[in-house]
Amino acid sequence: MRGPHNIWRLIRTGATLERTGAMNVVLDAFEATPAVRFVARALGLPFKFLGYKGDPSMPPATRALTALGPAYIKFGQVLSTRPDVVGDDLAVQLRVLQDKLPPFSIQEARAEVERELGLPLDQMFSEFSEPVAAASIAQVHKARIADTGEDVAVKVLRPNIERAFRKDVDAFYLAARMVELFSPGSRRLRPMDVIEHFDGVVRGELDLRLESASASEFAANTTEDQGFQLPAIKWNLSARRVMTLGWADGVPLGDNAAIDAAGHDRVVLGDRVLHLFLNHALRDGFFHADMHQGNLKVAPNGDIIAYDFGIMGHIDEYTRRVYAEILYGFIRRDYMRVAKVHFEAGYVPADKDVDEFARALRAMGEPIFGMDATHISMARLLSYLFEVTERFGMETRTELILLQRTMVVVEGVARSLNPHINIWEVASPIVTDYITKSIGPRAALNDLANTAMVLARFGPRLPGLVEAALLRQSNPQPEVRNSRIGWMLLSALGGAALASGAIALMVALT
C-alpha cells in the first residue's frame, strides 16, 4: 500500500507483539507457515526495544492490541467475531478485550459538538458532563437539552480518529498481502477479505449518522416488543461525528446484586434476553450483534434497555428460514432433516453423502442432548455444527458466524442471570412460531404474492421488453427463432397472469 509509514508501522507492531509475548499466540492462531513466521520475527525481534510495553496484567494478545492503539483494539474486537479465522481460544481472549482508553478533554469534545451541530454548546445543552465512557473510536458525555430539560447521552468521535484509522488500515492491507504472498495456504482464511470486512465496519462506525440510522431501524422493528426499550435518537442534535440519544437510566444487566436489590426477577430477565435476540434475528433479520452486559440495562419498570448500535447483524429471509429449520431440527433431534437443509441451502457440496453427514450430526448432537437440560448449550451446539460442516467442505458464511458469536454472548448473559436456565425450552416457542409462520402453505402464498408484486411492477414494461427481445433475434434458423419467440411471449404472458392471479388471491383472502 501507499507510504513508507506502513513498513514502519508493521515494524512497530511486530516489536510490540514480541515485547508483550503475543507473537507466538497470534502466529499459532493464524496457523502461520514457517515463511510467515520468519518474516514476522524479522519485523519484530530485532526491534523489540521499540515495542510498546502495554499492561502486564492483561493476556498477551489483548495487552499488545491495547498498547498499539484504537485501530488495533477495534481490529481485535472484529476478529473476536471470526473464530473461523483466529481460532476459538484467541477469539475468547479478544471477546473480553477491554475497549477503554484515556478520554480526550471536555474542551475538545465541546468544540467538536459545536463544529458539527453549528451552534454554541450552551444554546443546545444546559449541562454537559465530563466523559462517562471512553472507547477506541468515541466517548460519551451525559448532557441535558436546554429546550426540554431531557437528559441525553452525547457520543463524540475522537479528534482525528479517521486519519489515524486510515493510516493503520493501510498497514493492515500491506500485512494481509504479505501473508498471502509468503503463505499461499493461508488464502483459505481470506486475509484480504478479513481486512476489507474490518475496513467496512470501521467506516460505518466513523460516521455516526449510520449508527443513528441503525438505531432508528432497530427501534421501528421492535416497537411492539414487550419489556424492551431503546433510547430515542435526537436527529436534530446528531451529525456525522456527534450522536445524541436518550439517556438509558437503569441498573447494569451484569450487576446481579443491584438487580436483586431493585426487586427485578432475574429468571424472567434471562428468558427475555434470549427471546428478544431470537425474535430480532428470526422475525426481523436485523439484530444487535454486541449484546453483552455492558450494552444492556434494566429500567426501573423491569424493561431491558439496549444501546450502542455500532455493530448490527443482518440476515436475509432465506438464511433465516434455513437457520430456523436447523434449530428446529435439532430441537426435534431430526438429524436427517438438519442434514437435508444444509444440502438444500447449498451449504454442503452436493457431491457429499447426506446420510454420512446426518450420522456426523447425530454423533455431535446426541451426547449434548444426553446432558442435563440446564447444561445444554445452543451456542456450543452451533459451534460443533460449524466444525462438522467445515469437515464436509462448507464455505465460511460471515453472517452465520456473526449470528453464532452473538448467540454465544446472549446465552452467556442469560446464564449469568439464571444459571439454571434451560436454553432449549426457552428457545423452542420462538423457533416453532417462526417455523409455523415462515414454512408452509401460507408462507408459500406470501412468497408467491411478493413475486407477483415484483412482476406487476414490470407490467408496463413487458410489451417493450418483448419487442426488444424480438428485434434482437438473429438466429438464421426460423424454427429456433420462432421457438424462442414463443417462449418469450409465453413467459411474459405467464408472468402477467401470475401477477394478477396471485394479487387477486391475496385480496380475496384478506
Q: Which residues lie across from 152 on neighbouring strands?
A: 143, 246
3-state secondary structure of 288: strand
- CA–CA gap between residue 399 and residue 129 (Å, rounded): 38
- C-alpha 91/C-alpha 383 separation (Å) is 13
In this structure, the strands spanning 138-145 and 151-157 are antiparallel
CB neighbour class for 115 (10 Å; exposed up to 12, middle 13-18, buried from 19)? exposed
What is the radius of gyration, based on Cα positions, of the chain?
27
Q: C-alpha grid cell for residue 14?
A: 511486530
Catalytic residue among 290, 334, 433, 447: 290
CA 65 to chain centre: 21
Q: Where are the alpha helices (DSSP H) in 392-461?
A: 398-417, 423-438, 441-457
Tell me which H or E stretch contains 298.
strand 296-298
Catalytic status, residue 290: yes
* Residues contacting residue 154 through CB under 8 Å, at least 6 positions apart: 113, 125, 128, 140, 141, 142, 143, 237, 242, 243, 244
Q: Which residues contact 441 (CB under 8 A, 6 or more apart)?
A: none
Q: Output the CA torsion sign for 460, 462, 465, 471.
A: negative
Q: Give the torsion through C-alpha atoms of 427, 431, 434, 436, to 10 deg.
A: -120
Which residues are CB-contacts of 62 (< 8 A; sequence separation ≥ 6)?
Answer: 76, 93, 94, 96, 97, 98
Is the distance from CB of 91 to CB of 79 less than 8 angstroms? yes
Residues designated as active site: 290
